[in-house]
Amino acid sequence: MLIHDLGTIAYRDAWALQEAAHAEVVDGAEERILLVEHPPVITFGRRPGVDRNVVAPPERLQSRGVEIVPSDRGGDVTFHGPGQLVAYPVVRLIDHALSVGGYVRALEHAVIQCLADLGVAARKDDCAVGVWVDDGSGTLAKICAIGVRVRHGTTLHGLALNVTTDLSFFDLIIPCGLVGRPVTSLEKLLGLKSPSMPQVKQALGERLVAALGGRAAAPPEGPRPKASCVPPAAAVR
C-alpha cells in the first residue's frame, strides 16, 4: 500500500487526485493513502439539508477566507484547514474482507491506536462516528471526523485528525451536525508536548497500513449499539 504526502492542497484539487487514484485502484493498481492539509474549507456530505449547520453568515466566512464545497461523501458538515491532517485511503474493500461499516470501524481503530502511540487515550462513541477524547469538559470531544464514500467497491474520502488546527473555525458550523459536542486537537490536549505534523503523519500512516493492509485487520465488532444520545442542555448552541 502506497502513502502519498501531498502537502497543502486545495480541497477540490485533492478531490480530483482522489478520483484519479480511485480509477487506477478500481482497475487493479496498488492501493494508496493520500495525506494532505487543506486551506480553510467547509464541506458538506450528501445528507439533505446539511447546509443549515453552517451558522456563520457569508460575510464572516469570506472574512476568514473559508471556501464552501459540497461533497459526495457521507456525513454532515465539517471543517478542514491548516494544522489538520486529512487522510484519504483508496482501497478495495473486498480485498480486505470489509463491509462499509467494518471499514469505518477500521479507520476509527487505526486513529485510536495512532493517538495512543502519541500519548492520548481516545475512544469511539456509541452516539456518533469518529474518534473522541475526554478533554475535561464533561462531554467527549471529537478529535477526528470520518466521512467516506464507496464506489465500485473502492473507497473515497476518509478522515480528518485535528493536530494544531485553529479550533475557532469550528464555531462557524455545527460540526458533523452534532449540537453541543465540542471539538479538540492534539495541541489543545498536549500543549507543548504535542507532536509535530510529520510525526503524526508517520504514526497515522503506519496505523492505517496496519489496519487496511491485510484482511480484516481491525478487531471484529458488531453494529454500533443503540444508545441514548441526548446532548447536555448546557452545551446546546
Mean of pLDDT values over 51-58 = 80
Does residue 231 belong to any structural domain of this protein? no
Does residue 29 belong to any structural domain of this protein? yes
**Is residue 61 within 8 Å of 34, Cβ to Cβ?**
no
Does residue 179 belong to any structural domain of this protein? yes
The pLDDT of residue 45 is 75
Does residue 228 belong to any structural domain of this protein? no
**Is residue 83 within 8 Å of 89, Cβ to Cβ?**
no
Does residue 227 belong to any structural domain of this protein? no
Residues in the chain: 237
Residue 81: phi and psi, rounded to 5, are -170, 180
Does residue 230 belong to any structural domain of this protein? no
Residue 231, classified by CB atoms within 10 Å of its CB into exposed (0-12), middle (13-18) or buried (19+), is middle
**Is residue 162 within 8 Å of 132, Cβ to Cβ?**
no
Q: Which residues of 92-117 are buried (b: 16+ CB within 10 A; e: fewer)?
A: bbeebebeeebbbbbbbbbbbbbbeb
Does residue 196 belong to any structural domain of this protein? yes
The reported pTM is 0.88
Does residue 234 belong to any structural domain of this protein? no
Which one is catalytic: 114, 127, 144, 176?
176
Show the domain range for 166.
2-220
Query: Does the pLDDT value for residue 92 go beyond 70?
Result: yes
Domain with 186 in it: what CATH number?
3.30.930.10
| pLDDT single digits (tens) 162-209 | 999 999 998 887 766 667 788 999 999 999 999 999 999 999 999 999
Residue 144 falls in the annotated catalytic set = no
Q: How many domains does the chain have?
A: 1
